Amino acid sequence: MKALARAMRGTAAERQKLLGVGEAAARTATAANRVITVSPTTAAIERYTGVLFDALDAASLKAVARRRLNARVLIFSGLWGVVSPEDLIPDYKLKMGASLPRLGKLSTWWRARLSPVLDESARGRVVWDLRPKEHAAAWRVGDTPSHLITVEFLEERAGRGLVTVSHSNKLLKGALTRHLVSLTDPVIESLADFEIDGFRWDPDSTTTANGVTSTRVVRHLS
Cα of first residue to Cα of last residue in the chain, in angstroms, is 50
Domain range list for the chain: 39-219
For the chain, 222 residues long, give each residue's pLDDT as a single digit of tens.
Answer: 999 999 999 999 999 999 999 999 999 999 999 999 999 999 999 999 999 999 999 999 999 999 999 999 999 999 999 999 999 999 999 999 999 999 999 999 999 999 999 999 998 889 999 999 899 999 988 767 778 999 999 999 998 899 999 889 999 999 999 999 999 999 999 999 999 999 999 999 999 988 889 999 999 987
Please check whether residue 190 is in contact with residue 183, taking contact to mean a CB–CB distance below 8 angstroms: yes
Q: Can you give the pLDDT at residue 46? A: 97
Total residue count of the chain as it appears in this document: 222
Q: Quick one: three-class SS letters along the chain?
A: CHHHHHHCCCCHHHHHHHHCCCHHHHHHHHHHHCCCCCCCEEEHHHHCCCHHHHHHCHHHCCHHHHHHHHHHCCEEECCCEEECCCCEEECCCCCCCCEECCCEEHHHHHHHHHHHHHHHHHCCCEEEECCCHHHHCCCCCCCCCCEEEEEEEEEEECCCEEEECCCCHHHHHHHHHHHHHCCCCCCHHHHHHCEECCEEEEEEEEEEECCEEEEEEEECCC
pLDDT at 143: 67
pLDDT digits (tens, 9 = 90+) for 117-169: 999 999 888 999 999 989 999 998 876 777 899 999 999 999 889 999 988 99
Q: Which amino acid is at 168?
A: S
Largest CA-CA distance found in the chain, in angstroms, rounded: 54
Strand 126-129 vs strand 147-157: parallel, antiparallel, or unpaired? parallel
- Adjacent-strand bridge partners of 89: 42
